[in-house]
Structure 1
Amino acid sequence: MNDTFLKACRGEQTPYTPVWFMRQAGRYLPEYQKIRSKVSFLELCKRPELCTEVTLQPVDIFGFDAAILFSDILIPMEAMGLALEFHEGRGPVFPQPVRDRQAVDALVVPDPKERVPFVMETIRLLRRALQVPLIGFAGAPFTLATYLIEGGSSRVFLHTKKMMFQEPELYHDLLEKITACTSSYLQAQARAGAQALQLFDSWAGILAPCDYEQFALPYVQSIIADLRAMTDIPLIYFANNGATLTGMTVTAGADVLGFDWRLPIGEAIQRAGDHAVQGNLDPLALFLPADRLEQRVKGMLSEARAARGYIFNLGHGIQPETPPDQVRIVVDAVHRHSGR
C-alpha cells in the first residue's frame, strides 16, 4: 500500500509529495466516456461495479497517490426523500425545491445502509482493488442546502439567502436535518473502509464571513466532531473561494485544509497554521504549454516546503475539456520534483 497521502494528511515526513485531483475520475477521460455513454450519470452512481471501474481509471492511468470514491454530493439528499435529476448542460435539478416548513418537515434522515447501500458496496470493492488510499466524501451542509433551496445551481443564491435572513429558524431546522444525514453518511463510509474523508463546501465563498460563521461553520464543526468520536482517519475540509474565511475554517476541526487557487500556496500554508494543506493549482492552468506547466508545479512545490504536510491538488475540479496528457505532465512533475 502506498500510504504517502495518509502520511501527508497526518503531517508526517514523506519521501515525495502525494498528488490527486478533485474530479480525477470523469469526463476528461475517454475511458470514462466509454462507460458513461451506456448509462445515465445517476445510474452510474448507483452501480458499484461501474463506480469501482471509473474510480480506478485515473489511478491506473496516471499513478495518482489516492483515489476518491466516484459518486455525487447530492446522492444522500435524494435519500432524504427528494426527487433528483441530472440534465446535460444544466447539472443537478431538484424539481421540488425545499422552501417552506412543509417541505423541511417532510425530509427524512436516512439510514445509509438502507438507502445508499451501493455507496458502501463501492467502497468495499475499491478497498480490495486499490493499492493507494481511498477518500470518501460528502458535501458540506451549507453547500447541500443551496441545491435543495434553489432547486439546483445558482448564480446569486437568492432563495437561500432569503431563507437565511428572513426565516432563520426554518433555515437552521433544514441545516440540522442535512447535517444529521451527512454525519451519518460519512460515518458509514468510514465503517465501510474509506481511509480519509473530505467535506466539499463548494459554495462557502458566497457568504460574508459573519454569515459563514453563523450559517455554515457550526454544521461543519458538528460533523467533524461526530467523526472524531468514532474514527481517527484523516479529515479534509475544502471551502471553495474561501480566502476570506480562513480565520474560521482553521477552527472546523479537520486535519487538512483544502485551498482554491485564489491564495498563493505559501500564504495558504501560513494561514493554515498547524494543519496539513491540500491544493491549489488553477484547473485551467492545465492548459499551459508543457514547459510552463511544469515550472508552475515546480514553483508550487518550492513554496509548499514549509507546510506541516502537503498534498498537491487542483484548486477545484478538473474541467472536462482538459487533455489527459496534461494531467500526466503534472503528476509526473510533482513526483519528480518532490523527490520520488
Structure 2
Amino acid sequence: MNDTFLKACRGEKTAYTPVWFMRQAGRYLPEYQKVRGKVTFLELCKNPELCTEVTLQPIDIFDFDAAILFSDILIPMEAMNLRLEFHEGRGPVFPDPVRSRQEVDELIIPDPEETMPFVLETIRLLRNELKVPLIGFSGAPFTLATYLIEGGSSKVFYQTKRMMFEEPALYDALLRKITRCTSLYLQAQARAGAQALQIFDSWAGILAPVDYARFALPYVQSIITDLRKVTDVPIIYFANNGSTLIEHTVTAGADVLGLDWRLNIKEGIARIGEHAVQGNLDPMALFLPKEELEQRIKQLLEDAAGARGHIFNLGHGIQPQTSPDQARIAVEAVHRFSGR
C-alpha cells in the first residue's frame, strides 16, 4: 500500500508530495464515458461494480496517490425520503423542495446500511483492489441544505438565505436532520473501509463570515466530533471559495483543509497553522501549454513547502473538457518536482 497520501494528511514526513484530483473519475475520461453511456447517472451511482470500475480508472491511467469513491453528495439526501433527479444541462433537481415545517418533519434519518448499501459495498470492493488509500466523502450540511431548499442548483440562493434569516428555527431543524444523516453516513463509510473522509462544502463561499459561523460551521463541527469518537481516519474539510472563512474553518476539527485557487497557497498555509493543506491549482490551468503548466505546478509546490503536510490537488473538480493528456502531465510534474 502506497500510504504517502495518508502520511501527508497526518502531517508526517513524506518522500514526495502526493496528488489526487477532485472529480478525477468522471466525464473527461473516455473510459468513464464508455461506462456512463450504458446507464443513467443515478443507476451508475447505485451499481457497486460499475462504481468500482470508474473509481479505479484514473488510478490505473494516471498513477494518482489516492482514490476517491465514485458517488454523489446528494445520494444520502434521496435516502432521507426525497425525490432526486439529474437533468442534462441542469444538474441535480429535487422536484419537491423542503421549505416548511411539515416538509422538514417528513424527512427521515436513514440507516446507511439499509438505504445505501451500494455505497458501502463499493467501498469494500475497492479496498480489495486498490494499492493506494481510498477516500470516502459527503457534502457538508449547509451545501446539502441549499439543494433541498432551492430544489436544485442556484446562483443567488434566495430561498436558502430567506429561510436562514426569516425562519432560523426551521432552518436549524432541517440542518440538524441533515447533519445527523451525514454523520451516520460517514461513520458507515469508515466502518466499510474508507481510509480518509472528505467533507465538501461547495457553497460555503456564498456566506458572509458571520453567517458562515452561525449557519454552516457548527453542523460541520458536530459531524467531525461524532467521527472522532468512532474512527481515527484523517478528515479533510473543503470550503469552496472560502478564503474569507479560514479563521473559522480552522476550528472545524479537520486534519486537512482544502483550499481553492483564489488564494495563494503560501498565504493559506500561514493562516491555517498546524493543519495539513490540500490544493490548490486552478482546474483551468490544465489548459496551459505543457511548459507553463509544469512551471505553475513547480511554483505551487515551492509555495507549499512550509506546510505541515501538503496534498496536491486542484482548487475544485477537474473540468469535463480537460484533455487526459494534460492531467497526465500534471500528475507526472507533481511527482517529478517533489522528488518521487
TM-score range, shorter chain: over 0.9
Q: 1:51-103, CA deviations, whole angstroms, 9 ceiling, x for partnerless residues? A: 00000000000000000000000000000000000001000000000011111
> Could you tell me which amino acid in structure 2 is paired with residue 133 of structure 1?
P
Alignment of 1:312-331 (within 5 A): 312-331=312-331
The equivalent of 2:283 in structure 1 is: 283
Q: 1:131-180, CA deviations, whole angstroms, 9 ceiling, x for partnerless residues? A: 00000000000000000000000000000000000000000000000000
Structure 2 residue runs without a partner (length 5+): none
The equivalent of 1:107 in structure 2 is: 107
4+ residue segments displaced more than 3 Å: none
> Could you tell me which amino acid in structure 1 is paired with residue 320 of structure 2?
P
Q: 1:271-305, CA deviations, whole angstroms, 9 ceiling, x for partnerless residues? A: 11000000000000000000000000000001111
The equivalent of 1:32 in structure 2 is: 32
The equivalent of 2:334 in structure 1 is: 334
Task: Please tell me whether residue 62 in structure 1 is matched to residue 56 in structure 2.
Answer: no
Task: Please tell me whether residue 229 in structure 1 is matched to residue 225 in structure 2.
Answer: no
Please report how far the alpha carbon of residue 41 of structure 1 lies from its aligned counterpart in structure 2 after TM superposition: 0.2
> Could you tell me which amino acid in structure 2 is paired with residue 243 of structure 1?
S
**Structure 2 Cα separation of the partners of residues 36 and 220 of structure 1:** 32
**Structure 1 Cα separation of the partners of residues 326 and 270 of structure 2:** 29
> Could you tell me which amino acid in structure 1 is paired with residue 329 of structure 2?
I
The equivalent of 2:204 in structure 1 is: 204
What percent of counterpart residues are identical?
79
Deviates more, 1:264-273 or 1:40-49: 264-273
Task: Please tell me whether residue 273 in structure 1 is matched to residue 273 in structure 2.
Answer: yes
Task: Please tell me whether residue 48 in structure 1 is matched to residue 52 in structure 2.
Answer: no
Using structure 2 for the length normalisation, give the TM-score: 1.00
**Structure 1 Cα separation of the partners of residues 22 and 268 of structure 2:** 18
Alignment of 1:140-289 (within 5 A): 140-289=140-289
Using structure 1 for the length normalisation, give the TM-score: 1.00
**Structure 2 Cα separation of the partners of residues 103 and 318 of structure 1:** 35
**Structure 2 Cα separation of the partners of residues 66 and 156 of structure 1:** 34
> Could you tell me which amino acid in structure 1 is paired with residue 254 of structure 2?
A
Structure 1 residue runs without a partner (length 5+): none
**Structure 1 Cα separation of the partners of residues 319 and 94 of structure 2:** 24
**Structure 2 Cα separation of the partners of residues 36 and 231 of structure 1:** 34
Please report how far the alpha carbon of residue 19 of structure 1 lies from its aligned counterpart in structure 2 after TM superposition: 0.0
Q: 1:115-135, CA deviations, whole angstroms, 9 ceiling, x for partnerless residues? A: 000000000000000000000
> Could you tell me which amino acid in structure 1 is paired with residue 67 of structure 2?
A
The equivalent of 2:97 in structure 1 is: 97
Aligned length: 340
